[in-house]
Structure 1
Amino acid sequence: MPSPPISGGAAADRIADTSGTPSRTIHGEPANVTAFVVCRFVDRGLLVDLRANPDGPPHHPGQVAEVCRREDLADLVAADILLGPEQAAARLGVRRVEFDHMVRLGWVRSPQSIEVRFGTSRAGAVDVALYTTASVDAIVPTHPEVDWEQLRTVEKGRRSPLASLRPQPAPVPA
C-alpha cells in the first residue's frame, strides 16, 4: 500500500468533505457522517476492513477515495445517517408517542445507541437508541395499512391509533 491505512473517523471526514455533509458536531447538532456510516460502507462491501477490530478498523485510503468519487455518495451517506427518536418522529411527521409505538411494534430497529449524560453523575446517564434514516424512511411504504394522514394529525393529549395494535409474530421460515 503506497499510503498508510486511515481510521474510520478519518475516512468519515474525507467522505464528509467530498459530499459536503458535516462530519463534526456543530452547535450541539449530531454529526451526519460518522465512523458508523463508514462501518455501514464496509457492510455493503464498498470498503474493506483491514483488520478484525470492529471499534476502529483502518481503511485503505485509495478505496476511500474511490467511494468519494461515486455519484450516489450523498444518497449512500443519507441512508445511514443516525437519528434519535425525536428526529425520527419529526422526519415521519408524527408525535414521538407514535414513533415509540412503531418501535414497540417492531417496525423499526435500532442498530446503535449512545449514552447521554445529564450533569456530571453517571446516575443521570441514559441510553438513547438511534435509527438509520433509511430504516425510518422505510416505515411508511412498508405499512400501507396505516392512515398516515390521520396519524400525522392526531392532537396532543389524544390516544395514538397505534396504541391498540399488537406486534405481529415473526414469520416462521419454511
Structure 2
Amino acid sequence: MARRSDYDDSQAAKRLRVSAAAFRWARHADVIPAPDLPPNRWSRTAVEAMDPEAVRAALPRAPISGSVAADRIADALGTPNQAGEKANVTSFVVRRFIDRGLLTELSANPDGSMLNPDQVDVVCRRKDLAALVAADTPLGPNQAAERLSVRRVEFDHMLRLGWIKPADTIEVRFGTSRAGAVDVALFRAAEVAALADAHPEVDWTLLRSMGKGRRSPLAALGK
C-alpha cells in the first residue's frame, strides 16, 4: 500500500490520534506550523514532526456547540435563553462572531459549529458584548422592513439593488413534512440599520409614507 505523502487537517489529526477540533485549535494557536504544501496541506515529514501531546494540551476542555455558546453569551448578558421560548441569543449570532474572528470554528460540518469554551468565556467577558450581540441580531425580511419603517416591497427592492445581502438562511417548515419547508434569509440588524445612512440619495420620508398599493419609488432604480 502506498504511503500517504500529504494530509489535510482531518487526516493529520487522525494520524496523530487527536480530535480534529483539537488539531484545528492547535493550528489557530500556532502550536503546529502552517501548512507547508498547497492548498492548506501538510507534508508527511511535517506531520511526523508534530507533537500529539502538545496538540491535546492546547485544547484542554472539550469543545462546545454553537447553541451552547449562544446560551453562555445570553447568560453573560443577564438574559438567559429559556427552553420553549424565543432565544435571546442564537447560533446566528455565534456564526457572526466567527465571521468577525472573535471565535474560531473547530468543526468542518457546515451545519454545526464547535468552539473552544475558553475562547467563548473570553468573549463573554467583553465590555462591548451587548453592543456586538445587538449588531448581530438576526432579522428576517419582514422584520428588516419593519425596522426600517418601510413596506416589504421596498426592502425587496433593496435586495434586488444589492444594497444588502443575507448573512445566513434558515429552513422554516410548515407542518412536519420537509415538502413544505422554505429557506428564509436572515440579515444582521446593524446592516439593516445602516441602509438609510448608506443611501442618502433616497427620500426616506417619502419611502416611509408609501401606502398600500402604491408603486415603490425604488422600482425604477437599477433598470
Give TM-score, length-normalised by structure 1.
0.84
Which residue does the alignment assign to 2:212? 156
Which of 90, 102, 119 does residue 146 from structure 2 map onto? 90
Letter of the structure 2 residue corresponding to residue 136 of structure 1: V
Letter of the structure 1 residue corresponding to residue 115 of structure 2: H
Unmatched segments (≥5 aa) in structure 2 = 1-58
User: Mean alpha-carbon deviation: is it higher for 91-100 or for 33-42?
Assistant: 33-42
Which residue does the alignment assign to 1:128? 184
| Aligned counterparts of 1:114 and 1:57: Cα–Cα separation in 2 | 15
Which residue does the alignment assign to 1:42? 98
Letter of the structure 1 residue corresponding to residue 188 of structure 2: T
Deviation digits for residues 91-115 of structure 1 (CA, Å, limit 9, x no counterpart): 0010111111111111111122222
| Aligned counterparts of 1:90 and 1:148: Cα–Cα separation in 2 | 14
Relative contact order (C-alpha < 8 Å, sep 6+): which is higher? 1
Which residue does the alignment assign to 1:9? 67
Structure with the bigger percentage of helix: 2
Deviation digits for residues 108-162 of structure 1 (CA, Å, limit 9, x no counterpart): 1112222222234444322221111122112111100001111111111111111
| Aligned counterparts of 2:79 and 2:148: Cα–Cα separation in 1 | 22
When the two chains are superposed, the root-mean-square deviation of aligned CA atoms in Å is 2.0
| Aligned counterparts of 1:98 and 1:67: Cα–Cα separation in 2 | 36
Letter of the structure 2 residue corresponding to residue 95 of structure 1: R
What percentage of aligned pairs have identical amino acids? Answer: 65
Unmatched segments (≥5 aa) in structure 1 = 168-174
Which of 125, 132, 155 does residue 99 from structure 1 map onto? 155
